[in-house]
Amino acid sequence: SSQVVITVYAKTPLPELSSVKANRTTVDVHIVFEGDKVFQAELELWGVINVQKSAVSLLPSKVEITLQKAPPLTWARLEHPQTEKDSSSDHSVY
């Protein structure tokens, strides 16, 4: 398939308080729902996406994030596997 769709199910997303930011290999999702509920995720993608051809739809019962693959290759999974780290090599970047 040439697309990957991420669906977040919850009622009444608030567009003015929500954001989806992406570059070619990462997606940062911050969705605020009615009742002060928040969904947040930072995804390092398995493959590369075309950001300009990707889209977000905020619907009454869900948020759909459609990512256009570039190139349209099969991904083994949504996220790239993280390499094993020991605690001495962890670094936080804020």
- For residue range 55-84, list pLDDT tens digits in order: 999 999 999 999 999 998 999 999 988 743
Long-range contacts of 55-62 (CB under 8 A, 24+ apart): 56/20, 58/13, 58/15, 58/18, 59/13, 60/11, 60/12, 61/9, 61/10, 61/11, 62/7, 62/8, 62/9, 62/10, 62/13
**24-55: pLDDT as tens digits:** 999 999 999 999 899 999 999 999 999 999 99
Supply the mean pLDDT for the chain: 87
Residue 17 CA to its chain's centroid (Å): 16
Topology classification of domain 3-77: Immunoglobulin-like (2.60.40)
pLDDT of residue 64: 97
